Chain A
Amino acid sequence: MKDVKIYTENLSVFFDYIQALNNVSIQIKANRVTSIIGPSGCGKTSFLRTLNRMNDLMHGFKMKGEVKIDGVDIYDDNIDVVNLRKLVGMVFQKSNLFPKSVYENLIFAPKLNNIKDKNKLDEIVERSCTQASIWDEIKDRLNDNALNLSAGQQQRLCIARALSVNPDVLLMDEPASALDPISTSRIEELIFELKKDYTILVVTHNMQQAARISDFTAFFYLGQLVEFEKTTKIFTNPSNKQTEDYITGRFG
């Protein structure tokens, strides 16, 4: 149990009367990459957002069950949610850069942590951009409005911004959906690099990608966790018929 980072027990999530997750119990291992797959609307994003309590901002959100990170119940009344979100970083499905310069986007989080030294900030900017494989493209455009970048550049900048705080857990909601094959493989390499220090959850609709990057794969369907296994097992010998149909593209 020591290597379990995230643990949920009978987790159910509701938005008003819509049930987005239904009794999800899962144990996600530390320093591993876990892929979340499943058809659109099955609750992948809702699951990620429960882990950094982003759902708290959604209208009509209610949850039942237990969510623990490092054994700590993150839905305890006394938990410092701001601190939690610094530890659990997130890259959103749709890029959501601030309408500010590239540089300001990247130093937003460090400044929240009271880092003021210009050299230190520059260092963080270069480090996180290099990790997100966007430094070469962006280093001469740090003062441009971030919203003028292309969709793929914006997506990588969002990844860089999430890395600027050195989180402990990284939630990535389709981080490569707008990327060309080269950037995609760079992001995949990045994920591979990062798992030394981070626990990573990646939502993806790309089965090959899930197979390439992840150690574990969770298949969600209609809000339920249908199967959770080692990636090699799930892609070669799934125990559930629905999983097999989904992975092989025979989903009806």
Chain B
Amino acid sequence: MDTQSPYAKKISKRFRAKEKLIKYFFFLNGFVTVLLILLIFLFLLKESFAGYTDFNLSEYFFTEKTLADGSTEKIFEWFPTSEDQRLSIVPLILGTLLTAIPATIISTMLGVFVGIYLSEIAGSRLREILKPIIELFAGIPTVVLGFFMLVVGATYFQDVFFTTSRLNAILAAVGLSFIIIPIIATLTEEALRSIPLELRMASYSLGATKWQTISRVIIPTAVSGISAGIILGFGRAVGETMIVLMASGNAAELTLDVFRSVRTMTATIAAELGEVSAGSQHYFALFFIGTVLFIGTFLLNLIAELIINKMRKKIRF
């Protein structure tokens, strides 16, 4: 057989090697990133549970105190430096939620509207001016926002709400909103704009007004994208440190009152890790807080990612 069929052309070794090299290069990049995150997580985990052998893990949540009449009471307190050390994470989790949830509510109300305005109402020229301005907010150093809330915001706030604590959860929440609103607004805008023109045309051609098209077609189709934005915003609020450190008052109280001072998980780590003696139980407790934060924000991001994927499948254009 001398004559070769044109189909018999073989792939050259060099080509195959190049393909492989490219593949491994990208794989390696992804792998290293994942590995680093995994190592950080393992380190956190190891440090949080490396405490003294006689330490009971439940003490990260509560301590039991024997009362005079012999009964026991559960105490949820964070008193890391006192003689009678208490390392309950519960007031810190409450503090985080008390700042992050109001911040997310405020930012959702404003951010979703801003997103709708940008995508559906503002013309393309106005959008090109407004969008960078809004994104700029997310870029303000958080220490500046914290400082602003501490110095200016707190005074006005007390004058208006007559709060008992000058620095409190809701003040921190307002500060957080400055960075969460842009997140929710831009993700809402992207979700809305990803809806194909064909769908809008279908709605208009059936005699829908602009508002009917927005409320009955565009928002329902984009709802998962918008909720993903809200979840990511919440994740950011939970992880944010500087603003809450400066504006929340930092008192680790077991409270549900947003007008009182609270202490968040992030602020606790930031404020205490520098001074704690390495290897002490307090030190390990801070790592435990880190682990809880890590898992929490990781799950929030994962959920948001899954929701966004679901939306992509739903539109299918």
> Which residues of chain A have a CB within 8 Å of any CB of chain B?
52, 54, 57, 82-83, 85-86, 89-90, 92, 94, 96-100, 108-109, 112-113, 147, 161-162, 164-165
The complex places the Cα of A83 from the Cα of B200 at a distance, in Å, of 17
Give me 7 other A-B pairs in contact (C-beta within 8 A), A54-B204, A86-B206, A96-B201 excluded. A85-B204, A96-B202, A99-B316, A112-B206, A112-B207, A112-B212, A161-B206
The complex places the Cα of A192 from the Cα of B192 at a distance, in Å, of 40
Interface residues on B, range: 20 to 34
The complex places the Cα of A147 from the Cα of B206 at a distance, in Å, of 18
**Which of the residues B201, B220, B314 comes within 8 Å of A92, measured between beta carbons?**
B201
Query: Which of chain B's residues 217-270 have a Cβ closer than 8 Å to chain A?
Result: 217, 220-221
Which chain A residues lie closer than 8 Å to B212 at the CB level? 112
**Which of the residues A89, A98, A164 comes within 8 Å of B217, measured between beta carbons?**
A98
Indicate whether A92 sits within 8 Å of B198 (C-beta atoms), given known contacts A99-B316, A108-B216: yes
Which chain B residues lie closer than 8 Å to A57 at the CB level? 197, 200-201, 204
Inter-subunit contact B198/A94 (CB<8 Å):
yes
The complex places the Cα of A92 from the Cα of B216 at a distance, in Å, of 20
Which chain A residues lie closer than 8 Å to B203 at the CB level? 98, 108
Inter-subunit contact B200/A98 (CB<8 Å):
no
The complex places the Cα of A113 from the Cα of B206 at a distance, in Å, of 10
The complex places the Cα of A54 from the Cα of B209 at a distance, in Å, of 13
Inter-subunit contact B198/A147 (CB<8 Å):
no
Indicate whether A99 sits within 8 Å of B205 (C-beta atoms), given known contacts A92-B198, A112-B212: no
The complex places the Cα of A85 from the Cα of B201 at a distance, in Å, of 11
Q: Is B208 an interface position by the 8 A CB rule?
A: yes
Inter-subunit contact A96/B216 (CB<8 Å):
no
Q: Is B144 an interface position by the 8 A CB rule?
A: no
Which chain A residues lie closer than 8 Å to B221 at the CB level? 98-99
**Minimum CB–CB distance for B121 against chain A, Å:** 14
**Minimum CB–CB distance for A15 against chain B, Å:** 13
Select from chain A the residue with minimum beta-carbon distance to B195: A99
Q: Is B199 an interface position by the 8 A CB rule?
A: yes
Which chain A residues lie closer than 8 Å to B299 at the CB level? none
The complex places the Cα of A178 from the Cα of B212 at a distance, in Å, of 30
Which chain A residues lie closer than 8 Å to B197 at the CB level? 57
**Minimum CB–CB distance for A48 against chain B, Å:** 10
**Minimum CB–CB distance for B316 against chain A, Å:** 6
Which chain B residues lie closer than 8 Å to A54 at the CB level? 201, 204-205
Which chain B residues lie closer than 8 Å to A90 at the CB level? 205
**Minimum CB–CB distance for A52 against chain B, Å:** 6
**Which of the residues A83, A92, A94 comes within 8 Å of B205, measured between beta carbons?**
A92
Inter-subunit contact A89/B316 (CB<8 Å):
no
Inter-subunit contact A92/B202 (CB<8 Å):
yes
Select from chain B the residue with minimum beta-carbon distance to A147: B316
Inter-subunit contact A85/B207 (CB<8 Å):
yes
**Which of the residues B199, B204, B205, B209 comes within 8 Å of A98, measured between beta carbons?**
B199
Q: Is B35 an interface position by the 8 A CB rule?
A: no
Q: Is B315 an interface position by the 8 A CB rule?
A: yes
**Minimum CB–CB distance for A103 against chain B, Å:** 15
The complex places the Cα of A165 from the Cα of B198 at a distance, in Å, of 19
The complex places the Cα of A89 from the Cα of B205 at a distance, in Å, of 6
Which chain A residues lie closer than 8 Å to B204 at the CB level? 54, 57, 85
Inter-subunit contact A97/B315 (CB<8 Å):
no
Indicate whether A97 sits within 8 Å of B205 (C-beta atoms), given known contacts A57-B197, A147-B316: no
The complex places the Cα of A141 from the Cα of B199 at a distance, in Å, of 22
**Minimum CB–CB distance for A185 against chain B, Å:** 26
Inter-subunit contact B209/A82 (CB<8 Å):
yes
